[in-house]
Amino acid sequence: MINTVKPYVAGIDIGGQTTKLGIVDARGSVLSQTTIRTDTHTDVNLFLDDLCSAFEELATKTGGVEKIRGIGVGAPNGNYYTGTIENAVNLVWGGSRTIEFAKMMEERTGIPVALTNDANAAAVGEMTYGASKGMKNFIMITLGTGVGSGIVINGEVVYGHDGFAGELGHTTAVRYNGRQCNCGRTGCLETYASAIGVARTAREWLEGTDEPSLLRDLTTPITSKDVFEAADNGDKLALRIFEFTGKKLGESFADFVAFSAPEAIILFGGLARAGDMLLKPIEESMNANLLHLWRGKIKIVFSQLKESDAAILGASALGWGI
């Protein structure tokens, strides 16, 4: 993999507010990184001006642009096949249209650009540098504000017919009377198992009972971090919220296993910090719901990428494959 003339790749992670970028070597070390604002321009051309300047500045620190083999971009609604960002309503310059992002960036930099969504980028990152190194079949689940997924089969990310495969956060966790989801449907896994879902469970349970809980003392709206801290301090209600969240994840994971029989499911993102509080109920309910042939055989593991570097590493890993 090491190319002495072009030994590095660049990784760019586009979020709604900020965009992270970095230069990465073949061992997965982030050599330099920086952050720019995503939301200061409504015109994507002006955003790309900022991004390309920041990229060139970074590249200069590591020997120049000519040492960069490829650029990988993780972006909301990113389509790997077409290199486009489509209907990304969370990006101020996105909106309900299709932006030929990879092509535009290639024209500006002269370097090949590959683009996908952030969960797929995370899966490639984990396979290249992290917990699933050497695994040919695994599923990456990102537990952040929402629930994302990147599915790897036979060593390749599944993009499907149109480039948008792997929306496991929008599979059905509760069929009837499920929670309303931002996507317009109800009962999606994301409404239960994301950071927002955990906070929602907390609010519902606090309103529905008189059970004492540290969470009742908060003066600001409950976040999943509050629930984590309360659980970490032994709060029973908060602990049960993680049990419930893990149960929902485990039930869904059993169905995912029936689809692709992965070696492992890898957990990534803020909620994964809950560790055993989440892992144990996931394993219990997944195994209770699995077909016999898979019981006790599917590993649930946490991402091994350093959280501050993970987004850049994930995106950058795409750069090796161009």
Return the range that interacts with a copy of itself (CB under 8 A); candidates 22-30, 212-220, 231-239, 257-265. 257-265
- Nearest residue to 268 via CA among 117, 125, 137, 134: 125
CB nearer to a copy of itself: give 51 or 122. Answer: 122
Tokens of 167: 């929306």
d(CA 316, CA 106): 15
- Nearest residue to 51 via CA among 79, 89, 91, 96: 91
- Residues touching a copy of itself, count (CB under 8 A): 42
**β-strand 68-74 against 113-116: which pairing, if any?**
parallel
Return the range that interacts with a copy of itself (CB under 8 A); candidates 52-60, 68-76, 215-223, 287-295. 287-295
Buried b (16+ CB within 10 A) or exposed e, 189-215: bbbbbbbbbbbbbbeebbeeeeeebbb
| List 4, 5, 27, 175, residue binding a copy of itself (CB under 8 A) | 175
- Nearest residue to 76 via CA among 139, 123, 121, 130: 121
Return the range that interacts with a copy of itself (CB under 8 A); candidates 92-100, 109-117, 251-259, 302-310. 251-259
Binding status of residue 161 toward a copy of itself by CB under 8 A: yes
Binding status of residue 46 toward a copy of itself by CB under 8 A: no
| List 32, 172, 223, 287, residue binding a copy of itself (CB under 8 A) | 172
User: Which positions from 89 through 118 interact with a copy of itself, judged by CB under 8 A?
Assistant: none
Q: Which stretches of the chain bind a copy of itself, using CB under 8 A?
A: 87, 136-137, 151, 153-154, 156, 158-168, 170-172, 174-175, 183-185, 251, 254-256, 258-263, 289, 291-294, 297
